[in-house]
Amino acid sequence: MTLRWGIVTAGKISNDFVNAFNSYPDKGDQEIVAIAARDKNRAAEFAKIHNIAKVFDNYEALATSTDIDVAYIGALNPDHYALTKLFLENGKHVLCEKPFCLNAKQTQSLINLSQKKQLFVMEAVWTRFAPSYIYLEKEIAAGNLGEIKFVEANFGISCESDRVLKKEYGGSAVLDIGIYLLQLSQYIFKEEPQKVTAVGNLNDSGVDVTETMILEYGSGKRAVLNSHVGLTLWNRATIYGTKGRITLEDPFHFPDKVTAVDGTLKTFPLHTSSLLNNFGNSAGLVYQAVEVARCIRAGLIESPRMSHKESLVLAKLMDTVRSQLGVHYDADDQEFP
């Protein structure tokens, strides 16, 4: 039975997700059948570009329709909680863009709702499904790096978008790109850090635009992570073990090249499409859609590769970083069921 997707918002990341999905030949029996946006003309144009059959001019109509089984939410950060809640309450599975929510309280609330409704929900940390990360995981499991002791990674972009720089849009370097650094550390060490230290800078809007984060784990294990939304950095990550190191080459958050323990360069080519993407290596966005379909068909409400617990840990880490830097949202003062 075909798994039917609805796309929520017609922005840049939604464009790339749909493009990656439609151009991938091995996605199985699933298709994108509907698009919803507040601006119906924009939704109609999106549908025309991507050959989507149904257009909705509001999210409630899509959520209550019988046309879709699962929603992909590519909205601005402050809308993630309400939109995910809307679709779960109307019996739809959800893949929501990262960051899942503005804080851990919202994240826990949605996890609770997913469990109550027995519906699948996942934060769209597409990195977890990259072939290069699967390779890294296998190398670690095989013992080729020995005991992992240290991780260092940078993610810096030159950004002028209000989506990242304005508090009212949920702007934040750690929520926008720092989450990729934090998820890498958690992916490697697979335990919550014993201590988190963050230093950084805020802009006039009260949003963090740069941070250095030090995560300390047991037995002297440590990650040093740098994020910056005003400067392009060398965005690669190196994982150091007692037997050697592996480097995820730029862009480390979804690399198509990895420098292996023996120094050779491994490549992980992505499929191509005739339509342009807005972000680098966006073809890889499809792998999470494949995982969503697999999990739903298996009767799961979370993915073992990007679990509810993982999203909650990441949310708590981002809360800690924001707290240390002095970044506060109105949602931090609210309670959620």
- What mean pLDDT comes out for the span 41-61? 97
Tally of domains in the chain = 2
Do 26 and 120 lie in one domain? The reply is yes
Do 261 and 248 lie in one domain? The reply is yes
Q: In this structure, is residue 299 part of a structural domain? A: no
pLDDT score of 54? 98
Q: What pLDDT, in 10s, does the model give residues 311-333?
A: 999 999 999 999 999 999 999 99
CB burial readout 189-217, b (16+ within 10 A) else e:
beeebeebebebebbeeebbbbbebebeb
- CA distances to 214, 215, 225, 240, 269 from 194, in Å: 11, 8, 16, 19, 37
Give the domain-ending residue among 106, 127, 148: 127
Q: Which amino acid is at 199?
A: V
- What mean pLDDT comes out for the span 169-191? 98
Q: What pLDDT, in 10s, does the model give residues 79-126?
A: 999 999 999 999 999 999 999 999 999 999 999 999 999 999 999 999
Q: In this structure, is residue 284 part of a structural domain? A: no
Do 100 and 207 lie in one domain? The reply is no
Q: 82 is written with which tokens? A: 């309400």
Place of tokens 């014993």: 194
Do 48 and 95 lie in one domain? The reply is yes
Do 84 and 200 lie in one domain? The reply is no
3-state secondary structure of 160: coil
CATH number at residue 259: 3.30.360.10
pLDDT score of 240? 98
Q: In this structure, is residue 261 part of a structural domain? A: yes
Beta strand pairing call for 257-259 and 245-248: antiparallel
pLDDT score of 100? 98
Give the domain-ending residue among 93, 127, 161: 127
What are the residues facing 210 on neighbouring strands?
201, 228
Handedness of CA 74, 80, 86, 92 (dihedral sign): positive
Do 179 and 328 lie in one domain? The reply is yes
Do 83 and 71 lie in one domain? The reply is yes
pLDDT score of 47? 98
pLDDT score of 50? 98
Q: In this structure, is residue 108 part of a structural domain? A: yes
Do 107 and 143 lie in one domain? The reply is no
Mean pLDDT, the chain, as a whole number? 98
pLDDT score of 150? 98
pLDDT score of 66? 97
Give the domain-ending residue among 66, 95, 127: 127
What are the residues facing 3 on neighbouring strands?
30
Q: In this structure, is residue 55 part of a structural domain? A: yes
pLDDT score of 228? 98
pLDDT score of 256? 98
Handedness of CA 176, 181, 187, 189 (dihedral sign): negative
Q: What pLDDT, in 10s, does the model give residues 222-254?
A: 999 999 999 999 999 999 999 999 999 999 999
CB burial readout 61-82, b (16+ within 10 A) else e:
ebbebeebbbbbbbbbbbbbbe
Q: In this structure, is residue 277 part of a structural domain? A: no
- Tell me the CA end-to-end span of the chain in Å, nearest whole number: 34
Contact criterion met (CB below 8 Å) for 223 and 214: yes
With bands split at pLDDT 50, 70 and 90, how would you rate the model's confidence at 304? very high
Do 198 and 318 lie in one domain? The reply is yes
Q: Which amino acid is at 47?
A: A
pLDDT score of 307? 98
Do 199 and 329 lie in one domain? The reply is yes
pTM metric for this prediction: 0.97
| Domain housing 326 | 131-267+307-333
Do 328 and 185 lie in one domain? The reply is yes
Q: In this structure, is residue 274 part of a structural domain? A: no
Q: In this structure, is residue 280 part of a structural domain? A: no
Do 215 and 321 lie in one domain? The reply is yes
CATH number at residue 14: 3.40.50.720
